[in-house]
Amino acid sequence: MKAGALVFGFILAFLAESLPLGPLYAQLHPDFIALFILYWALSSSQPLSYFVIWLIGLAQDLIFGRVPGSDAIALVLMLALLYAWMARVRRLPPWEQLFFIFFLLLAQSLISWLWQAWAGPIVWHNALLLGAALGAALWPLFTYALDRLQYHWPQRKG
């Protein structure tokens, strides 16, 4: 993936995560950073660094005021699960990949929730399931948009 498109995509993902659109959006929106990491892993020819993904998750924890490490460990474990099924998932078209994406987003949400519950009292809410389902439903559109972004991103000369 082109470096400029990668940085721009992460900026858009962080902005989509932090949009102040009310409490309903805050509970139901998919984890755009996790979606972007899944896209990046599937479209990249080389495996992603678990350390870099952990740092991204740690930044997500610190920016959004969550228990430190909850998103970091959840993103790393989500990526490890993806790599376990990478050969199968890459062969599928995006509309079929959404079932794997739903499972991975759900696992990421549950791991993050369990980490936060281990650190202190936290309430279960069904928005964890709905956010993963919405992220999986958006996966074909998300991959199409990022493919277009990557295709039209200017190449460095030299």
CA atoms within 13 A on the CB side of 24: 0
CA atoms of 92 and 55, how far apart (whole Å): 29
Residue range 31-55, pLDDT digits in tens: 889 999 998 898 888 888 899 999 9
Tens of pLDDT, residue by residue over 42-98, are 888 888 889 999 999 998 888 888 888 888 999 999 999 999 998 888 888 877 888
**Could you tell me how many residues make up the chain?**
158
Q: pTM for the full model?
A: 0.85
Average pLDDT over the chain, rounded to an integer: 83
Tokens standing for residue 118:
């281990």
Q: 50-59 as b/e, with b when 16 or more CB fall inside 10 Å?
A: eeebbebbbe
Q: What is the DSSP letter of 65?
A: T
